[in-house]
Chains A and B, each alone.
Chain A
Amino acid sequence: MSDVVEKTLTALPSLLSLDSQPGSTKLSSTSKLGSLIRGITELTSKHEEEKLIQRELVSIKEQVSSPNTSMRQMKDLMVRAIYCEMLGYEASFSYIHAIKLAQQGTALEKRVGYLAVSLFLNESHELLLLLVNTVLKDLQSTNLIEVCMALTVVSQIFPKDMIPAILPLVEEKLNHPKEIIRRKAVLALYKFYLIAPNQVQHIHSKFRLALCDRDPGVMTASLHIYLQMIQENPEGYKDLTTSFVTILKQVVGGKLPMDFNYRSVPAPWLQIQLLRILSLLGKNDQSTSEIMYEVLDESLQRAEMNHNITYAILYECVKCIYTIHPKSELLEKAAKCIGNFVLSPKMNLKYLGLKALTYVVQQDPKLALQHQMTIIECLDHYDLLIKRETLELLFRITNAQNVTVIVEKMLEFLSTSKDDYTTTDLVGKVAELAEKYAPDNEWFIETMNTVFSVGGDTMQPDIPNNFLKLLCEGFDSVEEDRKLRLFAVDSYVSLLQGKPGNLPQRFLQVISWVLGEYSHLREELDPATVMRLLVKLLERKQTSSETKSYVLMAMTKLCRSGEGVSIAQEVSESYSSSMDTVLRQRAHELQHLSHNLELRTRVLLPGEAGLEPLEVDSSLSFLDGFVSEALAAGAAPYKPPHQRQEELAQAKALSLEPYSLALPISMSSCSITDRQSPTLLSMSSGLSGDSTDLSHKGGSTTLKLDGVKRVWGKEGYLAQREPIEEAQIEVPSPLRSPIQQTETGNSHSPSPAPTQSPEHEPEKQQLASSLFVGLSSQSSVCLMGKSEPMPQRFRKKAKGQSSTSAPTSNSLISLPSTVDHLLCTNLLEKTPELSEVHAAANGTCDVEAALVSHEDSNTPQDLCLSSHLPAELSELFHSEISPLCSTQSLHLSACYVQKEDSLILVIFITNSSDFAVHDVHVDLDSEQLEVSCASDSPVKEVRGCCVAVCQYSLTVKRPSAHVTVAGMVSHQLHIETPQTAQFSYELPLTSFVRPLKVSTEEYGRMWLDFTHDTKQNLTLINDGEEPLTDTLTVLKKKLQLHIVEIIGMEGIVACRLLPDQPCLMHCRLHAGSLAVWMRSSLPDLPDCLMYHCQRSLTEH
């Protein structure tokens, strides 16, 4: 058979001419499909079509199930069935026959069978399993065409779990003599790599073979895989850069066979693929980038013909040049290229030009200035897509001066947009800009009002969250905060007095919350008036029950006296029998409050901001008694939802996936048996009605998770702040610097570019100057980056920050949900401290970052400063000495010394000038720490070229993963005006941890007393014979813990936070990881310590 194919393959060109006569393949009128199609086109109504198709389907069904139907007829039937499905009518009866056709038919029939399968069946369709055998057979066929078909269908649709069954056969095809088979095999493997990367990991070396294939087609196909792999891990493929560059050089130089030309451009698909790979490899890597400059230059020059395909290459080239380490010559050429695109009369090119501009504008703002008139024109373009892209561009160049104009343009666009996706995206951007650059309160609140009304219920939930957070955290001055809140209240009251009916639910929720919280600020506003407005909301039919519960909660805060109380009573009565449990709960609370005068005066006294923080026993330990009774009575122990699901899934179906990653085994400790003291362990495991104990015993059957980085845990994202990353952020991006250099010198005025000006009307120029204001003066700084030079009115905290600070803060930032709302005032007030841990301040110093970068820490200065350590401290462990801040003449550095019973912060004040510095004041302050001066007399004066040392003793008030001391130094330099500088110093919580020596019995007693706890599975150190002992020793060394006892699979550890807050730790080997349970009397302490345990184990 294969000989036949070989022959036909070679004989084809002659046959082609015969076949390709015009119209030769048009279908005969006798064909059944032909008559069906013709029949349909003659029909006039949808109804008739439906009838005809139903008749057709019945006839198809009859024939396919008849045993006398030949395979050839079956093929014809299948084509008709496909046609019916394409028209939107279901023909599921034919699916099984499609598979049969693929199985039993001869080549052409088989091809139709495969086609039908790929069109009919979904990835998860159970019939697909029947296909596996057919594919296996065809892959082994000697008929090349059958092999091709099998490879095609495999890349189109194949059950993921069955990939291992055919993988060896596909792999084998990589060595096939025919290049078309090799190429298809590579693409099939690419597809496998996309859907199940771990299954093709072992053939990476074969990918390299494919890359070196003598056929350029196979090599091109392999680049798909490489692009994907390099995207995931650019570091791993740097060695291939030269090869890619060589290939590109050959392609650009026209060394490939003519066959690969497209419109006389050599292999454009290959070129673009290579350019993409190069940009990934050269990103932030100067030496790699240098290898590719030459070939990029050549690509730019070669692509000169005016055709789409050359523009495509140019566009990719420009993107690459702006992604890799910059070279000014290339950048110039690329900028020219972008200019050509933007100015092109062709819409497609103009659009891409704008896109390219958007891409580069952060590095090269002057380019936007050059084209400002074009941008202005595009802003009013009749093509919405171009308009949208222009807004995207403007979004990137927004600053405090042009924000109002740009936001106005964005809102204008929003009012006409009908697409949800665009609306959501744009609304998010407006909100971001408003928070970042708002010029004043009124504008901010009004813009946010529009955002909420337009964004409606499709917008990202973090927009209202952030807004409320901003409102309650406030910013710099108390007075400004008050004004902002007041303005919000006024604005909302007038909105409610107008037509609240059109407002989206999310907005109503925001309004209710703000009115509840802040309407007391407006003194002349009677709470009862607000209450009446809120009642109106409740009466509306469209109001969702979630909004209603917001309204009720607002009322709870407002019902102080008189009329308000009676309204509250009325409302609570009508909702106290609501079917919605949350609403009912809120109503009952409100009812209770409105009837109880004493409670009201205690809780709701206006201006009483300093409510004592509520202590929350998150472990619900007060229910222990109840639960153990229930357990004794035979109740099933509690299982967390994901565990239940897992068990359910295990019970339901056979897992066909051989190497799937199991969910991290949930802590068995969630079951109630573990509430007992761990010292009574024999007893607790005796209570084995608990199915989770099974996993504990049968640890060997589960997957080993050690070495697997745990990013998600029970509480959500496990904060793992990489100190190295942090350090990188501080380094100014190398991408920027050369551009800056080229720019200094030429100043750009905001007036329009000279080439453009004469024909534009003055209003457009005016718009231009308002849009591009600030760009020229700022052109050398990053516009959106961290080093924002403009004072930000509203600090917006980076999204990641609060989640990286401490694990506990995760729950805090969420919008007050129904359950925890009563607490939310306190909770929300707590967030600032947590997030401030990482808020970059003037002269922030991160001890950990300093600890990591050892190379620079051992500077001579460090050495000589440590000699100034007081004698009693010099023997003890001290951290790296890191610089804090400097003034004209003083340099401050600090380190901490761990004493057994305290932690001493040592600040070195170095006077680098020759004169004495007088009136030196160092003030320290911290939200989390108690600071007291430890030296006898405070430093007042530092003589010229001398070092003074201050000591402070620190203790923890409120634990957090990292604690910060903020400080200020002020002094007078001889007669000049006083100078000040601010700094902040961050310490890990572990520096406050000391071993706690207790006996097992004491430990057991203490364990039961503590209410705050946390549980987590940690990585186990599995190098030696005794993983538990090894792991605990590492923890002991790194965190200064005391190992109380190790009993078999379990170990108990104790430590204290200075001065005397104990924290107990119970560890158990569990399914290849270390199940840790921490308890303490101090809230947050277990979470913070857990974070450090996790880190020190991952670092180990």
Chain B
Amino acid sequence: MMRFLLLFSRQGKLRLQKWFLPTLERDKKKITREMTAMVLARPPRTCNFLHWKDLKIIYKRYASLYFCLAIEDKENELLALEIIHRYVELLDKYFGNVCELDIIFNFEKAYFILDEFLMGGEVQETSKESVNRCIEASDMLQEDDSSEWYEVELFG
């Protein structure tokens, strides 16, 4: 089971946080601080894994953004790397050539995509197409509400 997923920039700015188990606000901040410090301090050409308490931390950098996933001890590290990668692919498919700014400005969308992909700390849907279909389906809903909003949403 996954425990949390953090996205942060090279400067250590938090861009997205997902906690799959209830966590106290105080702990969230502390863990985020520790994670950014640990991951950013890793020298190049090291492996993408870390130990933190009884958890395994799997991280990967995509452009300026670090994806940092904490999994339980019995989980498979390589698979976790692929989870991160699949999430990036999903973001890429949705935003089209995704960059950090997309995630900053549309972070709620990034959350929605994540919620379609993972649920309760497990992978729910691995097919890119299905995830996107769900996101688009809910995005379309407001089409009925107002055409003006629809424009804003789709064409910016």
Q: Which residues of A contact B (CB under 8 A)?
A: 4-5, 8-9, 12-13, 15-16, 18-28, 31, 33-34, 37, 72, 79, 82-83, 86-88, 106-108, 111-112, 115, 119, 122-124, 145, 148-149, 152, 155-157, 180, 183-184, 187-188, 190-191, 194, 217, 221, 224, 259-260, 262, 267-269, 272, 276, 308-309, 311-312, 315-316, 347-348, 350-352, 382-383, 385-386, 388, 419, 421-422
Contacts and interface: CB of A to CB of B under 8 A. Distances in A.
Contacts of A156: 20, 115, 119-120
B133 interface: yes
B149 A260 contact: no
A27 B14 contact: no
B141 A269 contact: no
A112 B108 contact: yes
B2 to A, nearest CB: 12
B31 interface: no
Contacts of A87: 14
Contact of B78 (A16, A124, A315): A315
A21 B130 CA distance: 18
18 contacts: A12-B140, A19-B139, A19-B154, A25-B153, A86-B15, A108-B142, A111-B112, A115-B115, A122-B25, A123-B22, A145-B137, A148-B134, A152-B119, A183-B124, A262-B126, A267-B126, A347-B45, A351-B47
B152 A9 contact: no
B64 interface: no
A187 B51 contact: no
Contacts of B141: 5, 8, 106-108, 145
Contacts of B93: 20
A155 to B, nearest CB: 4
Interface string B109-145: 1011001000111111111011011101111111011
A8 B119 contact: no
A460 to B, nearest CB: 14
Given A79-B108, A123-B22, A421-B52, A12 B47 contact: no
Interface in B14-46: 14-17, 20, 22-25, 29, 43, 45-46
Given A25-B154, A382-B43, A15 B108 contact: no
B63 interface: no
B137 to A, nearest CB: 5
Which 3 A-B residue pairs are closest in the complex by CB-CB distance? Answer: A123-B22, A312-B78, A347-B47
Contact of A24 (B49, B77, B101, B156): B156
A388 B46 CA distance: 13
Contacts of A268: 79, 82
Contacts of A276: 74
Interface string B56-68: 0000000000000
B88 interface: no
Contacts, number: 203
Contact of A106 (B50, B120, B142): B142
B78 A21 contact: no
Nearest to B146: A72
A191 B120 contact: yes
B111 A352 contact: no
Interface centre among B50, B86, B109, B121 (most CB of A within 10 A): B121
A145 B47 contact: no
Given A115-B108, A152-B115, 13 more contacts: A8-B137, A19-B136, A23-B156, A107-B142, A123-B22, A155-B120, A224-B122, A260-B127, A348-B77, A383-B47, A386-B47, A421-B52, A421-B53
B119 A155 contact: yes
B138 A107 contact: yes
Nearest to A33: B105
A120 B143 CA distance: 28
A269 B123 contact: yes
A1075 B154 CA distance: 72
B115 A22 contact: no
B94 interface: yes
A308 B76 contact: no
Given A25-B109, A221-B124, A16 B132 contact: yes
Contacts of B149: 72
Interface residues of B, number: 76
Contacts of B154: 18-19, 24-25
Contacts of B52: 421
B53 A21 contact: no
A928 to B, nearest CB: 41
B126 A269 contact: yes
Contacts of A16: 132-133, 136
A188 B120 contact: yes
A913 B120 CA distance: 70
B22 to A, nearest CB: 3
Nearest to A112: B108
A34 B105 contact: yes
Nearest to B109: A25
Contacts of A309: 78-79, 82
Contacts of A13: 133
A315 B154 CA distance: 43
A9 B133 CA distance: 7
A54 B49 CA distance: 38
Given A108-B138, A191-B120, A259 B127 contact: yes
Nearest to B101: A26
A1065 B95 CA distance: 76
Contacts of B105: 26-27, 31, 33-34, 37
A259 B131 CA distance: 11
B66 to A, nearest CB: 15
Contact of B120 (A12, A111, A190): A190
B126 to A, nearest CB: 6
A388 B56 CA distance: 14
Contact of A217 (B96, B125, B146): B125
Contacts of B22: 122-124, 157
A23 B102 CA distance: 8
Interface centre among A34, A221, A269, A316 (most CB of B within 10 A): A269
Contact of B96 (A23, A145, A386): A23
Contact of B119 (A22, A88, A106, A187): A187
Interface centre among B17, B54, B115 (most CB of A within 10 A): B115
Contacts of B101: 26
Nearest to B132: A16
Contacts of A145: 137-138, 141
Contacts of A194: 1
B122 A190 contact: yes
A276 B79 CA distance: 13
Contacts of B97: 22-23
Nearest to A158: B22
B14 A115 contact: no
Contacts of B20: 156
A15 B135 CA distance: 12
A83 B74 CA distance: 34
B120 A187 contact: yes
Contacts of B15: 86
Contact of B139 (A21, A22, A108, A385): A108
A86 B17 contact: yes
B106 A27 contact: yes
Contact of A348 (B14, B78, B107): B78
Contact of B156 (A28, A33, A184): A28
A847 to B, nearest CB: 39
A26 B156 contact: yes
A31 B153 CA distance: 11
B116 to A, nearest CB: 8
B146 to A, nearest CB: 8
A923 to B, nearest CB: 51
A27 B79 contact: no
B124 A22 contact: no
A268 B76 CA distance: 12
A385 B129 contact: no
Nearest to A30: B152
A1013 B61 CA distance: 65
Contact of A28 (B23, B130, B134, B152): B152
B151 to A, nearest CB: 10
